[in-house]
Structure 1
Amino acid sequence: MDPVMHSFDPPERFVAGTVGAPGQRTFFLQARSGRQVVSVALEKQQVTVLAQRVDELLDELMHADTDILIPAVAPLDLADDGPLEQPIDEQFRAGTMTLSWDTDDERIVIEVYPIDAAEEEPEVAGEVLVVRLPAASARAFVERARKVVSAGRPDCPFCGEPIDPVGHLCVRANGFKRRA
């Protein structure tokens, strides 16, 4: 069976976003080109790691001895603070993600496979989201992803776990309930 490939080369829009209140948010990667919109659910940590790895790859390319023009920061005209496209229809839940640089097209390539593909080889997954981004768009993705992740609950200064509006039981404070 051939996998269903959701390919965006390049997308008109590729963002990380959330639905729900802090502490109960669902995270999504969403790509759009024309009327084609694909939303993939994932964990907060996956968004964090993806943004970090994209940023690191761009930094490495920027400092490499090549003729590739890589912006150090996201261009202002590519900032995207808009909400996710509605309706949000979850295509699948993300499992394995790969990241690479296509030297011929000078684009970052992000491949997202369903969580059930982690048990199999990703190449035989039933679906895959493939997004190919120019460097400037990738920087804009990183900036928005970091904003989305940091917009949640504040972290406890002692244990690093999120603090709910009513406080939390901090293991480093011997279970003492701290107030936000």
Structure 2
Amino acid sequence: MPSHGAWLKVGGAMARVIHVFRHPDRFVSGTVGEPGERTFYLQASSESKQVSVTLEKQQLTVLSERLTSLLEEVASRFDTEVPPSAPEELTDTDPLDVPVEEEFRVGTMGLGWDAESSSVVIELLAITEGEVDENIVLDDTEEGPDAVRVFLSPAHARAFAERAERVINAGRKPCPLCDEPLDPEGHICPRQNGFLRDNPFTEG
């Protein structure tokens, strides 16, 4: 894998761009806009380089959940220390760095473990009209959509997942009975013996 993003050329023409961040200074999720109209971003920053991509809220939810599952698997299968929660010094509550300029909208996401560097690898591929060949995910092939590839330590990956969960829940009003975030389709409230409680609020 390359150690930095670069233009790759096919037949002399500008082609695929892969922005690679090996243990960036910052890799976080965040939003722009008011609840109900929020745009979700992932932003990677390293020294003077910054890349922001947009994605759907559901994509961020899936990424956070699968990342958490991957960390659990890494902890059980590999001789690697994985903190159960993010160290305090890695907790990032600051807003996205500005200007927030969309590089592309995320279509396909890839997630893996690089045993050589003991790093979680997250890859975000730009949305395309056609289907994406799974073989190009986490690969440096010259053909395919633009991508952002980020290498994170297990501790930084845990911090990313925890922040993502906070970002996702920030647009939901809490249930007045149990304080759990309300879902648009309703809410199984433990204070009402598991009965579905309607959600009068919108989310974003």
Instruction: Give the TM-score range, shorter chain.
Output: 0.7 to 0.9
Amino acid at match of 2:110: T
Deviations 1:35-86 (A, max 9, x none): 110000000001111011111100111122x321111111110000001010
Aligned position for 1:110: 122
Aligned position for 1:166: none
Amino acid at match of 2:144: A
Partner of residue 159 from structure 2, selected from 140, 145, 159: 140
Aligned position for 1:129: 148
User: TM (normalized to structure 1)?
Assistant: 0.84
CA distance in 2, matches of 1:179, 1:119: 36
Aligned position for 2:7: none
The alignment status of 1:20 with 2:46, answered yes or no, reads no
Counting matched residue pairs gives 167
Structure 2 CA distance for partners of 1:117 and 1:4, relative to 1, 3 Å: farther
Given that residues 75 and 136 in structure 1 are in contact (C-alpha distance below 8 angstroms), is that contact kept between their aligned partners in structure 2?
yes
Amino acid at match of 2:146: E
* Unaligned runs of at least 5 residues, structure 2: 1-9, 137-142, 174-180, 188-195
CA distance in 2, matches of 1:59, 1:51: 13
CA distance in 2, matches of 1:110, 1:157: 27
CA distance in 2, matches of 1:45, 1:158: 13
* Unaligned runs of at least 5 residues, structure 1: 162-171
User: TM (normalized to structure 2)?
Assistant: 0.75
CA distance in 2, matches of 1:50, 1:177: 25
Whose helix fraction is larger, Structure 1's or Structure 2's?
1
Deviations 1:9-39 (A, max 9, x none): 0111000000000000000000000111000
Aligned position for 2:192: none
Partner of residue 152 from structure 1, selected from 160, 164, 171: 171
Alignment RMSD: 2.4
Structure 2 CA distance for partners of 1:90 and 1:29, relative to 1, 3 Å: same
Aligned position for 1:30: 43
Partner of residue 82 from structure 1, selected from 69, 89, 94: 94
Structure 2 CA distance for partners of 1:75 and 1:178, relative to 1, 3 Å: closer
Give, in angstroms, the shift of residue 178 of structure 1: 4.3
Amino acid at match of 2:162: E
Q: Identity of paired residues, percent?
A: 44
Structure 2 CA distance for partners of 1:178 and 1:137, relative to 1, 3 Å: closer
Q: Extract structure 1 runs of 4+ deviating beyond 4 A.
A: 155-158, 176-180
